[in-house]
């Protein structure tokens, strides 16, 4: 297994999750330009990375 690649995926997912949290916080404070599809895009990208991580972890067993 390529552990360096897996670590990068974990880091990328954490980065996207942090962006999603910031986006959600901005929405809570009523910023107008928040509802631009960013939330759905971030969730989709997080899900794709999570699936790739799960596949890599299963293949290493």
- Predicted model pTM: 0.84
Residue 61 tokens read as 């067993």
pLDDT tops 80 at residue 6: yes
Matching residue, tokens 């596949």: 55
Angle between helices 38-59 and 3-28 (to 10 degrees): 160
| Residue-number span of the structural domain to which 10 is assigned | 3-59
Contact (CB, 8 A) for 20 and 34? no
Residues in Cβ contact with 35 at an 8 Å cutoff, skipping those fewer than 6 apart: 27
Chain centroid, CA 59 distance in Å: 21
User: What local confidence, expressed as pLDDT, does residue 38 receive?
Assistant: 85
Domain count, the chain: 1
pLDDT tops 80 at residue 32: no
């Amino acid at each position: 297994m390529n552990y360096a690649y897996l670590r990068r995926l974990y880091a990328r997912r954490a980065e996207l999750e942090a962006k999603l949290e910031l986006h959600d916080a901005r929405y809570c404070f009523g910023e107008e330009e928040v509802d631009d599809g960013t939330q759905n895009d971030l969730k989709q990208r997080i899900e794709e990375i999570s699936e790739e991580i799960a596949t890599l972890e299963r293949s290493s067993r």
